[in-house]
Amino acid sequence: MKSEPPTGLPSRWLSIIGIGEDGVAGLSSSARALIESAELVVGGKRHLDLADSLISGRRLAWPSPMGEAIPEVAKHRGRPVVVLASGDPFHYGVGNLLLRAIPAAETLCLPQPSSFSLAAARLGWSLQDVALVSLHGRALEAIVRHLQPGARIFALSWDGDTPRKLAELLVARGMGQSRLTVLEAMGGPRERIRQATAAGFDLADVGALNTIALDVVAPSGAAVVALAPGLDDSLFENDGQLTKREVRAAAIAALAPRWGELLWDVGLGAGSVAIEWLLRHPSLKAVGIEDRPERAARAARNAASLGTPDLQIVQKKAPEGFAGLPAPDAVFIGGGLSDPGLFEAAWSHLKPGGRLVANAVSLQSEARLIELFQRHGGELVRLEVAKAGRAGTGGVFVWRQAAPIVQWRVRKP
């Protein structure tokens, strides 16, 4: 005989229930009743097996991609449906995917402790002091930006090989003494916790369901990505077409990134401006438009090595490459202003209130910037940088002047 679901929530037909490695034993009475009364229960095969004794309705294992199951869930609107998820469904879980199609007012979520919460409880780490990263379905290099001296990181693994791959990445970046704690199947009978340094990583048979706790040891000389804009030019593989660090820092300041915004980097080159934009905050997005394949590939390598593998690269010539892209909040043009229609196309796509920054080195492009400044206003700045260099073979140093850069900064009305 089926148990009745809790009353008083007639509009909340979709229940999103977190289930841990302890299965049914860890569920509340309300969660059990909801599963028992559901016409449809959706989850991964592991979740469905954990809740097997409670399920009497139809079962649906997540397809690949998971989004293909959403229409089937939506078809049951108004009838009891349960989606099973690991731990907290709204912490790197399926909750966000479901709520893209189903109003929150029609759902009820009963979470369990997330993997991060369980790991914090096991190790005694305060979550507010730990960087939380998901490597599940994401590039391993996404963790690079978080590899700061003394940092603590929790990372959700993609599979059983992730801890070893992370250890190799740490060694390659000069952080071999960092300590990895691998926590497997937390909260269940198969729970296991093991530790190793990155350089001495020897953990075998790591289960696919694991979370990594990382204590970062980054001595002097380790490849740490600084938190301030204006990264050293040597960090960027380039063919000479690189916005230099002093000019780049000024460009990022003028572009003024804000939460969740999108940058178009037109004429991507080595990708330095787009990469520095993305490093300012994890919510930021960037698209680089670059028609030369060797430069596009080089920018992709730079993005991965500096912790921004999510840089989107469009290998087309501007402005043709703008077609189909979401409208930007900011645009950077590092060159090519003499190309017919490039500025006009970028300006037309830029959102109202958006910022555009353009650099000029040649007299011709400088003249173009002056013309645009006179037409659209904004701010025109001349940047001159001189660095001390040795004169000849002696101990005398002189100032070596780089070519001046004219930078135009403007906000679209």
Q: Model confidence over 340-387: pLDDT tens digits?
A: 899 999 999 999 999 999 999 989 999 999 999 999 999 999 999 999
Domain count, the chain: 3
> Which region holds residue 256: left if phi is over 0, alpha if psi is between -120 and 50, else beta?
left
Phi, psi of 133 (to 5 degrees): -130, 140
Cα–Cα distance measured from residue 350 to residue 261, given in angstroms and rounded to the nearest whole number? 12
Residue 373 falls inside a structural domain: yes
Q: Are residues 122 and 101 in the same domain?
A: no
Are 274 and 288 spatial neighbours (Cβ–Cβ below 8 Å)?
Answer: yes
pLDDT-derived band of residue 241, with 50, 70 and 90 as boundaries? confident
SS3 335: coil
Q: What percent of the chain has pLDDT over 70?
A: 98
Residue 2 falls inside a structural domain: no
Residue 303 falls inside a structural domain: yes
Q: Are residues 261 and 296 in the same domain?
A: yes
Q: Are residues 187 and 238 in the same domain?
A: no
- The average pLDDT across 42-48 equals 96
DSSP string, 88-104: -TTSSSTHHHHHTTS-G
Asked which of 58, 85, 112 is the last residue of a domain, the reply is 112
Q: What is the CATH number of the domain that holds 166?
A: 3.30.950.10
pLDDT-derived band of residue 336, with 50, 70 and 90 as boundaries? confident
The mean predicted confidence, pLDDT, of the chain is 94
Q: Is the pLDDT of residue 391 over 50?
A: yes
Q: Is the pLDDT of residue 7 over 80?
A: no
pLDDT at 183: 98
Domain ranges, residue 328: 233-411
Cα–Cα distance measured from residue 264 to residue 307, given in angstroms and rounded to the nearest whole number? 19
Q: Are residues 134 and 254 in the same domain?
A: no
Q: Is the pLDDT of residue 6 over 70?
A: no
Q: Model confidence over 81-133: pLDDT tens digits?
A: 999 999 999 999 999 999 999 999 999 999 999 999 999 999 999 999 999 99
pLDDT at 348: 97
Q: What is the CATH number of the domain that holds 36?
A: 3.40.1010.10
CA 63 to chain centre: 24
- Burial class of residue 190 (count of CB atoms within 10 Å of its CB; 0-12, 13-18, 19+): exposed
pLDDT-derived band of residue 393, with 50, 70 and 90 as boundaries? confident
Q: Model confidence over 125-142: pLDDT tens digits?
A: 999 999 999 999 999 999
Window from 70-79, 168-177, 264-273, 394-403 with minimum mean pLDDT: 394-403
Are 107 and 99 spatial neighbours (Cβ–Cβ below 8 Å)?
Answer: yes
Residue 9 falls inside a structural domain: no
pLDDT at 83: 98
Cα–Cα distance measured from residue 101 to residue 177, given in angstroms and rounded to the nearest whole number? 46
Cβ within 8 Å of residue 38, ≥6 positions away: 15, 55, 57, 80, 81, 82
Q: Is the pLDDT of residue 3 over 90?
A: no
Query: What are the distances in angstroms from CA 18 to CA 27, 33, 66, 82, 240?
Result: 8, 14, 17, 10, 52
Enter the DSSP assignment of 59.
Answer: E
Are 109 and 134 spatial neighbours (Cβ–Cβ below 8 Å)?
Answer: no
Cα–Cα distance measured from residue 192 to residue 294, given in angstroms and rounded to the nearest whole number? 46
Q: Are residues 105 and 135 in the same domain?
A: no
Q: Are residues 282 and 404 in the same domain?
A: yes
Asked which of 90, 112, 134 is the last residue of a domain, the reply is 112
Q: Are residues 289 and 175 in the same domain?
A: no
Q: Are residues 91 and 139 in the same domain?
A: no
Strand pairing class (312-314; 262-266):
unpaired
The neighbour count for residue 66, using CB atoms within 10 Å, is 13
- The average pLDDT across 52-68 equals 96
Q: Are residues 300 and 239 in the same domain?
A: yes
Residue 4 falls inside a structural domain: no
Q: Are residues 71 and 202 in the same domain?
A: no
Q: Are residues 196 and 327 in the same domain?
A: no
Residue 364 falls inside a structural domain: yes
Q: Is the pLDDT of residue 9 over 70?
A: no
Asked which of 67, 83, 112 is the last residue of a domain, the reply is 112
User: To 10 degrees, what angle do helices 342-349 and 363-376 make?
Assistant: 40
Residue 286 falls inside a structural domain: yes
- The average pLDDT across 178-184 equals 98
pLDDT at 8: 47
Residue 3 falls inside a structural domain: no
Strand pairing class (355-360; 405-411):
antiparallel
Q: What is the CATH number of the domain that holds 326?
A: 3.40.50.150
Q: Is the pLDDT of residue 67 over 50?
A: yes
